[in-house]
Amino acid sequence: MQLATLAELNAERAARRPAILVTDVASGEQRLVKAAAIGTDPLSNELTTHLRMGKSGMVEAAGKRLFLNVYAPTARLVIIGAVHISQALAPIAKSLGYDVTVIDPRTAFASPERFPDVPLIAEWPDVALPPLNVDHYTAFVALTHDPKIDDPALLHAFARDCFYIGALGSRKTHAKRGDRLRAQGASDADIARIHAPIGLAIGAVSPSEIAVSIMAQITATLRLPAKEKEQAA
């Protein structure tokens, strides 16, 4: 890899922007495709597929064998609420390679004893969230059932374009949540992005089962094409 290309790649990775290095296997010629250019690249379909799957691999195009080396940011999971579901969800997400952070101003819940080896921030969302630099490669779940905690957190998730946003609560609870969020400036499009009731409809009852349904929905949102996402919802 040329030094100039390496410098560009390192800059993209530092900014948590995905990039794909395309190498012609026969000639060794390389080019770096940044996130903003993937949609208009001649290999757009192949690049999009490999980026969505987070996997490097070989493709053939225009009679050439090309190796696509995918550099995608590590996915994050921000959990608002140190509740029982969160205790089950955090280790599942960690096992799948997510960087997990739990936020809850209620210190009785946000304790190291309840969340071993998980970063905890016992602050209100308006204090805890800005330093995290939440971005598009972040899944965001609000689980407290307390509007004073969940609502400002969800507004932050809208502003930072998280790839997944979910919130605990029934349809009736979510309708009231939508009214509150609109009153605080959220758009209908913002509210439509919230997965609520949260998780795939697998009949989950216990906190652990609900955690599985949430992580499955996050995975589907990250990995599946748009049409298949709708079928999984």
* Model pTM score: 0.84
Q: Which domains does the chain have, with CATH numbers?
A: 3-71 (no CATH), 76-230 (3.40.50.720)
**Of 96, 36, 65, the residue nearest 217 (C-alpha):** 96
pLDDT tens-digit profile of 44-103?
989 988 888 888 999 998 889 999 999 989 899 999 999 999 999 999 999 999 999 999
Give tens-digit pLDDT for 134-150: 999 999 999 999 999 99
Q: What does the pLDDT look like over 157-207, one tens digit per residue?
A: 999 999 999 999 999 999 999 999 999 999 999 999 999 999 999 999 999
Average of per-residue pLDDT values in the chain? 92
pLDDT at 208: 97
Cis peptide before 197 (omega within 30 of 0): yes
